[in-house]
Chain A
Amino acid sequence: MFSQRPRLAYIAICALVAAYGCAILFTTNSYYQLMLALVPVWAVMGLAWNLFSGYSGLVSFGHAAFFGIGAYTTTLLFAKAGVTPWIGIPLAAVTGSLAGIIIGAITFRLRGHYFALAMLAYPLAMLYVFEWAGFQEVSLPMKRENAALYMQFSDPRWNALIGLGLLVLALLVSLKVERSRFGMSLLAIKQNEIAAQVAGIDAFRWKLKAIALSGALAGAAGGFYAVILLVVTPNTVFGLATSAQALIVTMFGGVGTLWGPVVGAFLLVPASEILHAELGGKLPGIQGVVFGIAIILVMMKMPQGIAWAVRDRFLPRRGRPAQAVSASAVERLATPFVLPPHAAIMLEAEGICRSFGGVRAVADVSFQVRTQEILGIIGPNGAGKTTLFNVLNGLVTPDRGAIRLSGRDITGLPPSRICALGVGRTFQVARVFARMSLVENVVVGAFVGTATDAEAAERAREALGRVGLGALAEAPAEALTNCELRQLEVARALASRPRLLLMDEPFAGLDAGEVRAFMSLIRTLRDDGLTIVIIEHTMHAMVKLVDRFVVLDHGSVIADGAPQDVVRDRTVITAYLGEKWVPDAVA
């Protein structure tokens, strides 16, 4: 949907099917036919891992849990109840998916390394439980009549074809995810979960969907694996090696791209088998050593995996268009906007308190923001500005106090909900997907409030236009200057069409010219009807921009008024700015 080359992937999948299909049809050696069936298993497993971990960034060491559950679902249904794998494998996908939902719901509260390590424990715990339950070795009964009904073909090429079918299904699912708001939302979560939530993305829900889908693919792969091997043991399907294999083929091939796991599996699985068959007897462990060295080399030379490296080598990277328009071209209204004295109240904070472990970060803060006002919240580091922002858009729940948006109480709502109600926020550090186009970068912000992906892309283009990056919409974000990245960050917040925009230190790190340009952008946005709250720790540039200042110190409001009054307020100057600022401030 957002990609530059939507057709290319489908053509590539068709080419893969044609080539692999031919390879299957013309292979007569049953051993190679078995290999042709096993490669897709690990490719699907890699895709399953990639679908969750590659896009969401939450590394899972436990995909064997889903694989094993799928394998045992298919096997036990067949062995104990006589249910054919034709039904068993889809059911394996269902149980894998359910396992994903349950594990995800329990474990998503953990982040980073904690999540990765917790995932490690699930399949290993299951391994013991399955051994304990007496399923140490379960074999799929042999069917001599109507064997095809039970997926037991006399010609093993059918197995390879089913494997290929499964792979195509997994590729299409991955493609669908990658090219939709699903994948983009996951990437946004990978990049910065907090920023994603603030941009209106319900991180928990997307992660749960991703792990459910990933679990389904892994479960199906496991079910099919059981059909190929015909014997299932807990160690083979729940073992550490299974989780590692999924991760290794993906990392080797390339993370976060459709083709990575496929490339990884197509190279590593046959290579490992050939090494084992040819040299295993003389040099036991040779395949492990070669595997290990290959992984080490790939990580050193192309840490993003082979697929990305190849893509960079052979597909030219998109650059920025020659005549790119810069931010200075943003036009303002001819007559300056004047804030009406009795404008409606947009946002009202009342008695906000929040402590962290006994330290009061925000203490009884109250203020109001009127429609189309530019409000500056200033204070030194540690004054509680960021906590206050976090409270305003729901990242932090206040201990006491209330926040009302246009009279509606929004206290305690989750950030994605608050975003949907019309509160946008920019972050100080603009994080971007370097390889993606600006539209793809901005579209993340547009998902909230749009039903279709096309509509979201439309809003993303509109937002880019509003910040003056319209001409660069299709250029990759890595081609932007520092200042343009800031504009991109604003565009992402604008894509949700907010009424109120919270900006976190927008001027940090910009030079004087850039600050001027950025200020004029902010004014234009206000002229278009936006209400804006900015936090900064210096008054410097802000004096000329804002309609009003709220000054925080040690978590409390120490001044609230027009810039000219606040900068002359001696309590503010001495208590907050320090004596050396007095001459500047008064001048």
Chain B
Amino acid sequence: MIGLRCLQRALILAGGLATLPLAGAALAEDLKIALIAPVSGPMARQGDLMRKGAELAIEDINAAGGIKALGGAKLALVVEDAGDKVETAKNAAQRLVANRAGVVAGTGSWSSSLTLAVTEVTERAELPWLTLSYADQITDRGFKYVVQTVPVASQLALNSMPTVLDMAQAASGKRPTKVAIISDSTAASQAFVKPLREGGFEKLGVTVVADEVFTPPLTDATAMVQKLRATKPDFMLFYSTSFPDAKLVLTKMNEFGLGKGKLPAVTVGVQLASPEMLKAVGPELLEGLIVVAPNWPSKAQEAALPGLTKRSGEPWLGQDTISTYGDVWLVKDALERAGSADGAKVMAALRATNRADGPADYYLGDHVAFDDKGRRIGGAVGLVQWQGGMPYLIWPKEDAVRTPLWPKS
């Protein structure tokens, strides 16, 4: 219903615009969508993946006739380098809003620290912002110009673990009861682990037998893996934001005879399901590793967009690319409904998004909408598992392309 009403409004606005030749001429200019992502520094690869998503989306939108509500205006991409520090991210955002002419909305910038800094600027500049970063803090600050297109960490944590237990039960016939947690000390990891540690697992009937936090960079994983071996958990929850650390832990697990799925490891963060991970760690060590993904290409997306993977030039698409792709489509959707490039109107339309099709196909979950904080409603958690050197979506069942592997004991 809401969707219809929006469409109605958009049509009326479009009709109104057609009668205003002056405004139409001004709008024939390209509308700019900003991407602030780490293009240099240790996270540059993620930034690159995001850029690919944004570029593909803009290509597709423009090929389909641009923003119809704005006289077929075309979209263009502006990329600013968030670097690897809060200061560089802040500078990038300031650079963007200072030379803002034509920028209607933006997305970025991967890690939570960088996103926090960027949104401090965009909020003040009243520039609509979307992010795939899922730290709770981003939408806890009462900001009006930001939306998170994936479930926030605390929800993700509480929603994903029952999913993992269901999946394990379905795959092995036995519900796990003992978990060991290994996490790094970054804000994203701790935001995820904290609600589970503080009662989340208990409610699910799972005992935490070991809980180790390390500060990156990890120099050596022996002590932690030794504890894993000693405490004999049913599975491990492993959250690492950098993959050198992840590799050290996985390598060490293999060395201690826990690798290759013998001790099921559930990790969070899509960089663990990236082609680089495969290159750096090798297929043997990754085998059986389960990754909790806030977003991942689903069957619906593949049906909607055949060939996207091929066009990206990547062996497979991950969250960074698909979410950024979807974010641009969400902006397009909002622009159509707002019928204006004005920041406040675009933001209002963005917040009012309520779609079960179109852009919603690029996100897991049945529909895309936002609550009053700007958090995603209707998000679901995907589980991706490495099987034979490829990451496959194994959960939710209706989207899954492979059946989960879990050791039967």
Contact = CB atoms under 8 A, between A and B. Distances in A.
Interface stretch (A29-37, A340-348, A537-545): A29-37
Interface in B78-133: 79, 81, 83, 85-88, 90-92, 94-95, 97-99, 112-113, 116-117, 120, 123-125
Interface size class of A (residues with CB under 8 A): 20 to 34
Nearest to B124: A154
B253 interface: no
Interface size class of B (residues with CB under 8 A): 35 or more
Contacts of A241: 85
A139 B137 contact: yes
Contacts of A142: 120, 123-124, 141-143
B39 A229 contact: no
B86 A233 contact: yes
B163 interface: no
B113 A137 contact: yes
A273 B91 contact: yes
A277 B95 contact: yes
B40 A285 contact: yes
B173 interface: no
B224 to A, nearest CB: 16
A131 B86 CA distance: 16
A119 B373 CA distance: 44
A418 B5 CA distance: 92
Nearest to A139: B116
A33 B213 CA distance: 40
B185 A31 contact: no
Contacts of B92: 277
B143 to A, nearest CB: 7
Contacts of B81: 276-277, 280-281
Interface in A218-237: 228-233, 235-236
Query: Interface on chain B toward A: helix, strand, loop, or mixed SS?
Result: helix
Contacts of B135: 137
Nearest to B44: A284
A355 interface: no
B40 A31 contact: no
Contacts of B83: 276, 280
A230 B185 contact: no
A154 B98 CA distance: 13
Nearest to B97: A30
A229 B135 CA distance: 18
A86 interface: no
A17 B141 CA distance: 36
A141 interface: yes
B187 A136 contact: yes
A231 B120 contact: yes
Nearest to B118: A231
Contacts of A132: 185, 213, 215
18 contacts: A29-B99, A30-B98, A31-B91, A31-B98, A31-B99, A38-B91, A134-B190, A136-B186, A136-B187, A142-B120, A142-B141, A229-B86, A229-B90, A230-B90, A231-B116, A276-B83, A284-B39, A284-B40
Q: Which 5 pairs between the two chains have the least Cβ-Cβ distance?
A: A284-B40, A31-B98, A136-B187, A137-B187, A230-B120
Interface of A: 29-35, 38, 128, 131-132, 134, 136-137, 139, 141-142, 154, 228-233, 235-236, 241, 273, 276-277, 280-281, 284-285
